[in-house]
Structure 1
Amino acid sequence: MMMMMMMMGVRGVFLLLPVFLLGLTIPSMATYVTELQVSFDNAEGQQFRSQGFNKIDLDLNKRAGGKFIYLWYKRGSVPITKVQVSFNDQQDVGLSNAGYTKIEKDLNSGAGGSWLYLWSVKGSGEFDTPIVDITVTAGNDAEMFGLGWERVACDLNRKAGGDWIHIWLKREAQTYICDVTVTDSFGSDHAHFRSGYIRVDEDTNRGAGGAFVFIWYRQTTDRRKALKDLQVSITDGQYQQYQQQNYQQVRVDLNEGNSGVLEYLWYKKQGTNNPIKAITLLPHKDLVADYDRRAGVTVIKKDLNTGNSGRYENLCFYQ
């Protein structure tokens, strides 16, 4: 009886112990990135600051001229899970139909580049992992992968010159690439967004004419479902090689509609125990050497515009 009373007493004390002494954590109500804004002047900046937004102090038009443009974010309890950038009206349609929120401010305002708009969505499905931090970089930025960040592919100085400007995201948990696909038209965009896909927001046909071709991927927190390798074939021999090595082909030509060679994306889910964590596109040849020497980064050294006059582009992934 005495022993039972002692146990009950200990149990009672246990229940009164502070949570931190038990090694437990209580999720913060302000853990997540929940809202984004863009300022064009000091007055807007002051307004956003008074509303609880945090400023990322890097000009999105850096060295390109134009307005001084800054990205702002707010923290809260209902997270943004995906961020996209559009640079033509056709891209906007799918994003809008899929329920994404658009910031109606051109990120290249005054700089003469592409008309760029930022979009975000608060998803809650299997392929949505909350974003807990966001930042912006200028210039070579490959080291960010090793620090747990995920790159938004579109250069925010697209066609404007200046520094290479990219948004980077950090998620609540480690994610892995579990699916990839390719589109050569905009008709299925909203369906892909609703199915949890993220679009790599740079055209693999950039400057080459032909169709707008985009690579898409989905993320999972389940390491077992991750892709293990990606390849690109640009010759018949490579096509046959990847078939024989049991890669799966994505059956859309990355050069669709232009004069280049037939190019296909291939993936594999079996093999090494080294899952792919991130995918991006490098539309600047000068970036290749810096990315290629980073631990865990693989640059597929095959120009996605082989055989045409388009921009030199490489697919890149991080493991």
Structure 2
Amino acid sequence: MGQRITDVNILVGYDKNPVPVPTGWKKIDTDLNSGVGGDYLYLVYERHDQDEPITDIRILVGDEKPPKGYEKIPVDLNKGAVDADSGKPHPLFMAVTRKGDGKPIEDLRIASWVDGEKKVDPPSGYSRIDTDLNAGVSKEEDGGTTTTHIYLDRKPAVS
């Protein structure tokens, strides 16, 4: 049995300087607020072969409570970003579980594209969490509003 993802977190940066990654953690090098302003946010995860692995990840909207058995990561995935038209924030949070019937998660990837570009499909063997991590936020540029779509893809472990 190989190493599975056992913990996830969000690193918050306030400028373009690299965000230090804790020892033993892996950073996905895509700003979760890419293209919409706000703080610089990066998903990091840790892998072990003996700790209890994460089996599911959900995205919570606003003050939605996590389902039973899920732990909420207390960092707004849209921290500092707002909708360009309304000026209002749209908070999103990640919740994870190590319980249930799901297979352990072996890998995570971020897919992103800008309005008007071709949608990026998940890589082979990955499934997409069906919530845009930039949902409800946008940025005004060159007289128009644009949105960069950010999705989290996960790869379940093969038995």
| TM-score, L = length of structure 1 | 0.39
Aligned length in residues:
136
Query: Which residue number corresponds to residue 306 of structure 1?
Result: 135
Give the drift of 1:174.
2.5
Q: RMSD across aligned C-alpha pairs, in angstroms?
A: 2.3
Give the drift of 1:235.
4.4
Provide the C-alpha distance between the structure 2 equivalents of 1:208 and 1:193, rounded to a whole number of angstroms: 26
Match of 2:43 among 208, 215, 221: 215
Query: Which residue number corresponds to residue 226 of structure 1?
Result: 53
Query: Which residue number corresponds to residue 120 of structure 2?
Result: 287
Deviation track 1:12-46 (CA, whole Å, cap 9, x = no partner) reads: xxxxxxxxxxxxxxxxxxxxxxxxxxxxxxxxxxx
Q: Counterpart of 1:227 in structure 2: which amino acid?
A: I
Give the drift of 1:258.
1.0
Give the drift of 1:307.
1.3
Provide the C-alpha distance between the structure 1 equivalents of 2:42 and 2:103, rounded to a whole number of angstroms: 25
Q: Counterpart of 2:79 in structure 1: which amino acid?
A: E
Provide the C-alpha distance between the structure 1 equivalents of 2:27 and 2:104, rounded to a whole number of angstroms: 20
Provide the C-alpha distance between the structure 2 equivalents of 1:313 and 1:273, rounded to a whole number of angstroms: 23
Give the drift of 1:274.
1.1
Provide the C-alpha distance between the structure 1 equivalents of 2:102 and 2:132, rounded to a whole number of angstroms: 28
Query: Which residue number corresponds to residue 76 of structure 2?
Result: 253
Query: Which residue number corresponds to residue 25 of structure 2?
Result: 197
Q: Bigger radius of gyration, 1 or 2?
A: 1
Q: Does 1:274 align with 2:103?
A: yes
Give structure 1 stretches of 5+ with no counterpart.
1-172
Deviation track 1:76-118 (CA, whole Å, cap 9, x = no partner) reads: xxxxxxxxxxxxxxxxxxxxxxxxxxxxxxxxxxxxxxxxxxx
Percent identity (aligned): 22
Deviation track 1:248-276 (CA, whole Å, cap 9, x = no partner) reads: 01101010001141010110011125110
Give the drift of 1:188.
10
Q: Judge which range, 279-288 or 309-318, deviates more.
A: 279-288
| TM-score, L = length of structure 2 | 0.76
1:135-146 equivalences under 5 Å are none
Match of 2:9 among 153, 176, 181: 181
Provide the C-alpha distance between the structure 1 equivalents of 2:44 and 2:60, rounded to a whole number of angstroms: 18
Provide the C-alpha distance between the structure 2 equivalents of 1:219 and 1:246, rounded to a whole number of angstroms: 20
Deviation track 1:205-247 (CA, whole Å, cap 9, x = no partner) reads: 001111001111011123x5211111111244xx22x2x4221
Provide the C-alpha distance between the structure 2 equivalents of 1:175 and 1:250, rounded to a whole number of angstroms: 22
Which structure has the highest helix share of the two? 1
1:35-114 equivalences under 5 Å are none
Query: Which residue number corresponds to residue 109 of structure 1?
Result: none
Query: Which residue number corresponds to residue 142 of structure 2?
Result: none
Which of 1 and 2 has higher RCO (CA within 8 Å, sep 6+)? 2
